[in-house]
Amino acid sequence: MEVLLLSRLQFAATTFFHFLFVPLTLGLSILIAIMETRWASSGNEEYKRMARFWGKIFVINFALGVVTGITLEFQFGTNWSRYAQYVGDIFGSLLAIEATVAFFLESTLIGVWIFTWDRISPKVHATIMWLIAAAVNTSAYFILSANAWMQHPVGYVIRNGRAELEDFIAIITQHLAVIEFLHTVSAAYILSGFFVMGVSAYHLLKKKHLWIFNKSFKMALYFSLFFSIFVVIQGHLNGAEVARTQPSKLAAMESHWKTEANAPIYLFALPNPFGEGNLVEILPIPGALSLLAFHDSSAVVKGLYDFKPEDRPPVFLTFSAFKIMLALGMLFPLLCIWGWFIRNKLTENPKYLRIMLWCIPLPYIAIEAGWIVTEVGRQPWLVWGVMRTSEGVSPVAADQVAVSLIAFIIFYGLLGAAAFWLMARYAKKGPEPAPEPAS
């Protein structure tokens, strides 16, 4: 394999693994903060037990996110040095702020939070968790602003043979940065809610710690219901933004080959062995793509044939990932609505609880599919319209990248197995026993 493909595979592998842990950190921090707030306001020690239980899983998950995030960022220097040299003035400033402000703040506060359960008042302890939640979500905003800049570069000038920062505020406030943050973080909140509901369902099926897991389930249900509906509505805004800024990605997402008005959306597509890599499209919905992209069912949508072959994203992978994300995104609110109607009699509905237990992996699949759409759909551009992916790779030997790729896969595989084993162990174990009443 060539260096470019190996470097892309390595970055994809580390990104996918890293993003197994980040979303749960984002949403679980807020849910724990809500639990602690209920503890502080009511004085009910059961909320404290609840927060401590989910807090253990949060800390394990956060630790893995840190480890995998550090190695991920190193690759900009090892595998993508030409990219770092060309746009480091812009991309580096965003990562630097994320690391020196948000990351150090959340890491310090988590240490304080872990060791002060019985040393400070419940209100102060809850405040610390709210600050942690704010810090981890701020960290996500800067990372997603950097990614949004790669998708739609603004606030820069080409000077001295490289891209240099000109307007930092334009970068972090551009429309794409805001909607990418809202979409990604909402998906992370759904994942966190489904994780909590799934683990709670396990204990409710076993009739253990019923008060804690009934409360946990309902809290996560309300959380997930709101954001699962929000992300569907907000996803429409994403489609319109992609149509405006990345028309070839939109065409690949929908396997749209011919420029036409009243453009349809196809529900399914299969590889076409006779058509230069395009797809056989099945079950069209006339005008739906025009409506999604331009809020007008008669609008003209540019097709892939109007782009040079070297400027087209990989269609089958982008299309398939988008349809998986879309299908799961429509499933989540339906499951939450079902849960809403039986929220006060969960233990009387074991079928629903089993479904929610087995649904834990689905938001992970949806989020990873979303990143495939975002990153693969951007190809062949590393920075849209500015730098191609082939131009950003480091001048290193292919065998060096191959060795590090294999090492990453082995190391991350072992690390991931250990992390998920630990989380599963604590999830099955349940909360600490209630303290004995004072004699």
The answer on pLDDT for 273 being more than 70 is: no
**In the chain, what is the straight-line distance between the N-terminal and C-terminal CA atoms, in Å?**
71
Phi-psi region of 161 (alpha: psi -120 to 50; beta: other; left: phi over 0): left
Structure pTM? 0.92
Q: pLDDT tens across 154-173, in order?
A: 989 998 888 888 899 999 99
Element (H, E) at 159: strand 156-159
Specify the pLDDT at position 74.
79
Per-residue burial over 309-336, b if 16 or more Cβ lie within 10 Å, else e, is eeebbbbbebbbbbbbbbebbeebbebb
More confident residue, 218 or 401: 218
Question: Computed from CA positions of residues 294, 296, 297, 301, in that sequence, does the dihedral angle turn out positive or negative?
Answer: negative
Q: How many CB atoms lie within 10 A of CB 402?
A: 15
Q: pLDDT tens across 52-91, in order?
A: 999 999 998 888 888 777 777 778 878 888 988 888 888 8
The answer to whether the beta carbons of residues 227 and 189 sit under 8 Å apart is yes
Instruction: Output the six-digit token pair for 93.
Output: 């400033």
* Percent of the chain clearing pLDDT 70 (strictly above): 95
The answer on pLDDT for 272 being more than 70 is: no
Q: How many CB atoms lie within 10 A of CB 354?
A: 13
Q: pLDDT tens across 408-423, in order?
A: 888 888 888 888 898 8
CA gap 228, 322 in Å, rounded: 17
Instruction: Output the six-digit token pair for 103.
Output: 């990351």
Residues 6+ apart with CB under 8 A from 265: 254, 284, 285, 288, 289, 292
Specify the pLDDT at position 279.
65
More confident residue, 93 or 273: 93
Specify the pLDDT at position 235.
82
CA gap 118, 157 in Å, rounded: 53
Beta-bridged to residue 157, according to DSSP, are 164
C-alpha distances in angstroms, 150 versus 91, 171, 204, 332, 403?
9, 10, 45, 30, 28
CA gap 436, 439 in Å, rounded: 9
Alpha helices in 152-268 (DSSP H): 168-173, 175-205, 210-245, 247-253
Strands (E), 256-349: 260-261, 265-271, 279-285, 300-301
Band the pLDDT of 94: cuts 50, 70, 90: confident
The amino acid at 20: L
The answer on pLDDT for 275 being more than 60 is: no
Specify the pLDDT at position 129.
93
Q: How many CB atoms lie within 10 A of CB 99?
A: 15
Closest CA to 127 of 102, 139, 115, 109: 109
The answer to whether the beta carbons of residues 295 and 289 sit under 8 Å apart is no
Band the pLDDT of 398: cuts 50, 70, 90: confident
Distance of CA 259 to the CA centre of its chain: 32
Instruction: Output the six-digit token pair for 308.
Output: 């040079």
CA gap 422, 61 in Å, rounded: 10
Q: pLDDT tens across 125-143, in order?
A: 999 999 999 998 988 898 8
Instruction: Output the six-digit token pair for 254.
Output: 């929908």
In this structure, what DSSP letter does residue 301 have? E
Specify the pLDDT at position 439.
44
Structural domain boundaries in the chain: 3-259+302-429
Question: Computed from CA positions of residues 244, 267, 300, 387, in that sequence, does the dihedral angle turn out positive or negative?
Answer: positive
The answer to whether the beta carbons of residues 360 and 326 sit under 8 Å apart is no
Average pLDDT along the chain: 87
Q: pLDDT tens across 210-260, in order?
A: 898 999 999 999 999 999 999 988 887 888 888 888 999 998 888 888 888
The answer on pLDDT for 31 being more than 60 is: yes
